[in-house]
A and B are shown apart, each in its own frame.
Chain A
């Protein structure tokens, strides 16, 4: 029977199947954040169980670490409770730890991709729902809970039921000012937040073929907002050139063997999916969310929908049916997160930032996804552009996407954010989040209100 890419990777990782239909899969890479990773390591220590393969785990602080430009790591309580324990527990367990001192710290889903820790065909897990991001290079990557984190540490394996499979074909060509984030938001608005439930999503089609790995990372990152635990793009030449020379990628003969194996991951002719959907990206406008579900996305010039079932969301966001969001005043802009903090995102945002100044009354932050992104951006002078325009250029971490380290939006205030969730209280109790692309976020920072980035796009290369 013809196999999908998922079938091939799944079969290559199956240790055994239980009589009642669960598979025990071998885990190639396990990333430990300073939140779920710290908790998982503590759980295992309390259970007095040894760690089976410390060489396959990598600990990277991101959720709880401070991002102050001149901040001292040790100043936050979260640091004492989570960041330091992750470092100590990792050292005790002989797990590689990539803290700030390593120069490789970052959001796990940014660092592990750019570093080549994640490779095509690998099975990757992490105690974070946005682990789907690693599907950008054709890995099967799933988010897990903290009980499962402890299980993987103890056994290097995970019990899972094989998911159903959906093929999502993105066709057409986007216009200027429309990016992978806009495609993802429009797709989720169209298919709804539970389209991918119990499924793994295979993203295909000409629009995906043209995407860089950074853009595919944005797309796969948002797969979980479609309800899927796995989202991936079949590895291709774009993938191989992205990984060639990456620090942790294979080299020499091993690289050649790897690429040969990765080419064989293409789905067989006639491979069958449980459901298929086609989505035309041409004609999309920049997107913005109006409500408190990621499926509440709409074109930047559209009006907030009516309907009594949406009243609670509208009330929380303080928006009215029929209201256009464009020109709504904002107090915060956040450019960062595992969705949109890679070098391409920052280049796009800087291209707009150089055309003006952050409006007064707006606090605008740029939080690079990793120290590598930070170095590259600084080498290109992007940090200077941001600072000159009035943005704060901060240190890498999850920061205001989730607010766990204290980087939050005050109650009742409005933030245009390049992150992935606009849930009630996500960026802080009472905070109002409008999800958008880095271009829209940067344009909104300059305007002091929700703004269409397209008039500012002409200066971009």
Chain B
């Protein structure tokens, strides 16, 4: 069961980097040594802290404008690489509810949905204009997202409709417990198994 997602508003930070991989979002060393509830402070570890563990002043989430952001506007292919769900736990621990990028790693995208984080996709041109607007703004920028309406608006005055698969949208809105949902299909699964034993006897475990 995840937290249902209907609407969200919060600070938006610009992280205009492509191909941010899940090793960068949460390095294995921290993932293994830090409890899940504390992973937020390790998110983006190498980008966020220097070798001595001090904050890097120029990292967007460390600036006055970006600190405490719950909406991160990133680049292309965000969350590529390792399937580690800890990357999503770390973002959630940081307080992130919404990601905005032009594309995502497929497994990361799926992991977001399972944890109540909304991964929004915008065209590269729209994304670039958001980065420019945040960079050009003297004030911190806020974002407001309405999932039902599939719309994201920024305090810069920009707003965009976005596409999301209807099933993914509904499961986010409902905070669906997928295991419970699937167990309701128990009869279907059992029927499938029975038919499958006849159709594909070779696919059964021969050695177990």
Chain A residues in contact with chain B, CB under 8 A? Answer: 12, 15-16, 18, 20-22, 24, 26, 28, 36, 47, 49, 52, 55-56, 78, 81, 96, 119, 121-122, 127-129, 143-148, 150-151, 154-157, 159, 161, 163, 193-194, 197-198, 224-225, 227-229, 247-251, 254-255, 257-258, 261, 293, 295, 309, 312, 402-404, 411, 421, 423-426, 428-430
Interface size, B (range): 35 or more
* Choice from A15, A119, A225, A430 contacting B189 with Cβ under 8 Å: A15
- C-alpha gap A127/B111 in the complex (Å): 11
Contact pattern, B 51-91, Cβ under 8 Å of A = 1, otherwise 0: 10000000000000000000000001100111111001000
Which secondary structure characterizes the binding site on chain B? Answer: helix
Query: Which of A20, A228, A295, A430 is most buried by chain B, counting CB atoms within 10 A of its CB?
Result: A20
Q: Verify A144–B179 contact, CB threshold 8 A.
A: no
Complex interface: chain A residues within 8 A of B80 (CB): 193-194, 227
Complex interface: chain A residues within 8 A of B29 (CB): 403, 425, 428-429
In B20-69, the 8 Å CB interface with A consists of: 21, 23-24, 27-29, 32, 45-46, 51
Complex interface: chain B residues within 8 A of A159 (CB): 178, 182
Chain B residues in contact with chain A, CB under 8 A? Answer: 17-19, 21, 23-24, 27-29, 32, 45-46, 51, 76-77, 80-85, 88, 103-107, 110-111, 114-115, 165-168, 170, 178-179, 182-183, 185, 188-189, 192-193, 196, 199-203, 205-208
Q: Verify B19–A197 contact, CB threshold 8 A.
A: no
Q: Verify B114–A148 contact, CB threshold 8 A.
A: yes
Q: Verify A421–B23 contact, CB threshold 8 A.
A: yes
Q: Verify A423–B23 contact, CB threshold 8 A.
A: yes
**How far does the Cβ of A83 sit from chain B's closest Cβ, in whole Å?**
13
**How far does the Cβ of A301 sit from chain B's closest Cβ, in whole Å?**
25
- C-alpha gap A228/B110 in the complex (Å): 13
Q: Given that A119-B203, A144-B107, A197-B105 are contacting pairs, would A293 and B19 also be in contact in the complex, using a CB cutoff of 8 Å?
A: yes
Q: Verify B21–A423 contact, CB threshold 8 A.
A: yes
**How far does the Cβ of A290 sit from chain B's closest Cβ, in whole Å?**
15
**How far does the Cβ of B74 sit from chain A's closest Cβ, in whole Å?**
13
Complex interface: chain A residues within 8 A of B46 (CB): 424-425, 429
- C-alpha gap A36/B86 in the complex (Å): 10
Q: Verify A26–B206 contact, CB threshold 8 A.
A: no
Complex interface: chain A residues within 8 A of B115 (CB): 147
Q: Verify A194–B77 contact, CB threshold 8 A.
A: yes
Q: Verify A425–B24 contact, CB threshold 8 A.
A: yes
Complex interface: chain A residues within 8 A of B166 (CB): 20-21
Q: Verify B77–A227 contact, CB threshold 8 A.
A: yes
* Choice from A16, A403, A423 contacting B188 with Cβ under 8 Å: A16
- C-alpha gap A251/B207 in the complex (Å): 10
* Choice from B82, B106, B179 contacting A155 with Cβ under 8 Å: B179
